[in-house]
Structure 1
Amino acid sequence: LRLPVLVHPVLVGPAPRAAKFALAQIAQYTFDTTLGVGSLLMSGVLDRFPGLKLVLAHGGGAYPYLAGRFDIMHRRMDRAAQGDVAAKAPSAYAAHMAYDSIVHAPKALRFLIDVVGLDNVLLGTDYAFPPADMEPLALLQSAQLSAAEIEAIADANPRRLFARLR
């Protein structure tokens, strides 16, 4: 299995706490992305399928912000109670992950790049789900990325990730 796999939540309807004020679109789907990647990282899926490349929607959800917390809990987990657990800390699987640029704020995009590295960020739109970014290059420009950084996110990184599909 040497293919990229998109990790994106499905439309299951908002949780009762997220039914109002567009909280499902603002937070629930982003945190569902976080739970999805957390489950894949912590359960050992990447040990069993070392060629797997996860493409994380919503800039990886909250995972880039919580990466240290995931590592700490991986060390502290009761392995007997949890069942299959990844052999390494979640951060050790960084090479298995790419992140879309759908974070909707220049500072958040800069943070994502700082945490995961420019080579791991791909241009995204989240089309056709609200709040889709219909002008994704505008976010890259408003984050004051250089022309080379924009080219990497919008062209070079996706070409490298999907090279087998040419």
Structure 2
Amino acid sequence: MAGIVDIHAHHVPPLLIDEVARHGPAFGVLLRHDADGVLRLRVGDGPPLRPVLPELSNLLLRLPLLDEQGVTLQYLSPWTDCAGDALPPDQGARWARLQNETMADSARAHGDRFEAMATLPMQDPGLAVAELEHAVRHLGLRAVELVTSACGRDLDHPDYRPLWRRLRDLDVFVLLHPPGTPVGMERLGDYFLNNLLGFPIETTIAASRLLFGGVMAEFPGLKVCLVHGGGFLPYQIGRLDRGFAVHPACRAGGPAEAPSAALRAFHYDTLTHDDPALDYLAARVGADRLLYGSDYPFEMLDPAGPARVRRSAALAGQAGAVLGGNAEALLPPRGAGMPG
């Protein structure tokens, strides 16, 4: 079997941290060292972020696990805690540009072991399109990470239609990821529910809006991947179908078909933490829509992820595609020709 491709992992480049230490106010971002030496970033007027783990910043620290698991290529996506969507538009655009350029530098410094994903300044859809063009044409990036909502606007908002069109036309892979602070924190603040439930709820809301809002129908060919096994979407799709059948609000946005018929419009990572859930997902959407994702380096990564794919009864004979082949087909290698 060829090497494994991991499409869901996060990184905060050391060059980014250095630049914030020198010129943070220009980007609206500050650096803080706690008394115990823990490094934190603060974006805009928000609270200090979670600690920047050494494994999040130093790519050498992840190589032993990647080697042990047989991961030969890992896609590095920005840490969504660092999203600058609440910054003023021009400042947010500078912050996104800095993240993208330092992410690209980090990936290039390690040869073919890593590829970078871009982030976009979603508070201004026009600036988001401009940064997408820069990331693709000047940095050679073929993937972006989008947060499930930004600045009170959901991803089906009309203002984002030009961005979706350009993502489709440029053939860019989109990793749809929850924000660091998900919806409903007033009820999810303890028991780690912000992560356990809040993150998949965010993904489910965003994907449902893309379906009911007609985005996936309007732009066929979009490459959108839902992390964490698609949130709750595949497992409650019957409920969405029932709503589509009986309530006119579910058809007002222009979806072309029932939600279950559109499930295969998305791709899904394998991060389900559960063999029966992965088997169900594979049976429901097909092995060709699944991509291996680890969520490195956070506590919710699945150390048995590759083994879980290999032992899945629903993926018998197709584990190689899920672990690498599908990603290689979706994400052209660095330096490949770019569409217009």
The TM-score range, normalised by the shorter chain, is: 0.7 to 0.9
Aligned twin of 1:112: 281
> Alignment partner of 2:268: what SS?
strand
Q: Which residue, 267, 270, 287 being the options, matches 1:98?
A: 267
Instruction: Provide the residue aligned with 1:55 in structure 2.
Output: 225
Are the structure 2 counterparts of residues 124 and 70 from structure 1 closer, same or farther at C-alpha, using a change threshold of 3 Å? same
Does the alignment pair 1:155 with 2:302?
Answer: no
Structure with more strand by fraction: 2
Residue 47 of structure 1 deviates from its aligned partner by 2.2
Q: Which amino acid aligns with 1:138?
A: A
Counterpart selection for 1:73 from 236, 243, 247: 243
Are 2:182 and 1:10 equivalent residues in the alignment?
no
Aligned-residue offset at 1:137: 1.0
| CA contact 1:127–1:134 (8 Å) conserved in 2 | no
Shift, 1:139, TM fit:
2.3
In structure 2, the residue matched to 1:29 is 199
1:56-92 deviation line (CA, Å, top 9, x unaligned)? 101111111111221221222224x974231321223
| Cα pair 1:3 1:51 within 8 Å, conserved | no
- How far does residue 134 in structure 1 lie from its aligned partner after superposition? 4.3
> SS of the counterpart of 1:30?
helix
Secondary structure (helix, strand or coil) at the match of 1:98 reads strand
Q: Could you tell me how far apart the structure 1 residues matched to 2:306 and 2:314 are?
A: 10
Gap change, CA 1:149 and 1:6, over 3 Å in 2: same
Question: What is the distance in 1 between the residues matched to 2:241 and 2:222?
Answer: 20
Displacement of 1:164 after TM fit?
A: 7.1
- The total of aligned residue pairs comes to 165
Structure 2, unaligned runs of 5 or more = 1-167
Is 97-106 or 142-151 further displaced after alignment?
Answer: 142-151
Contact residue 101 and residue 121 of structure 1 kept, 8 A:
yes
Q: CA deviation at 1:141?
A: 3.8
Alpha-carbon distance between aligned partners in 1 of 2:193 and 2:206, rounded to the nearest angstrom: 18
In 2, distance between residues paired with 1:145 and 1:44? 30
Post-superposition, which runs of at least 4 consecutive aligned residues in structure 1 deviate over 4 A?
144-147
Counterpart secondary structure, 1:63: coil
- Contact in 1 for aligned 2:225/2:266 (Cα 8 Å): yes
Letter in 2 for 1:112: L
Which is helix-richer, 1 or 2? 1
Which residue of structure 1 aligns with residue 209 of structure 2?
39
2:290 pairs with one of 116, 121, 124: 121
**Mean Cα displacement is larger for which, 108-117 or 125-134?**
125-134
Contact 2:234 2:263 in 1 (8 A): no
| Greater RCO structure (CA 8 Å; 6+ sep) | 1
**Could you report, residue by residue, the CA deviation over 1:99-130 in whole angstroms, capped at 9, with x for unpaired residues?**
00000111111111111111111100122444
Q: CA RMSD in A?
A: 2.4
The answer for unaligned runs of 5 or more in structure 1 is none
User: Structure 1 pair 122/26, CA: closer, same or farther in 2 (3 Å)?
Assistant: same
* Bigger Cα Rg: 2
2:307 aligned partner: 138
User: Residue 163 of structure 1: SS of its match in structure 2?
Assistant: coil
Shift of 1:18: 1.2
Cα distance in 2 between the residues matched to 1:143 and 1:47: 31
Q: 1:59 to 1:146 in 2, by over 3 A?
A: closer
C-alpha change, 1:145 and 1:64, in structure 2 (3 Å) is closer
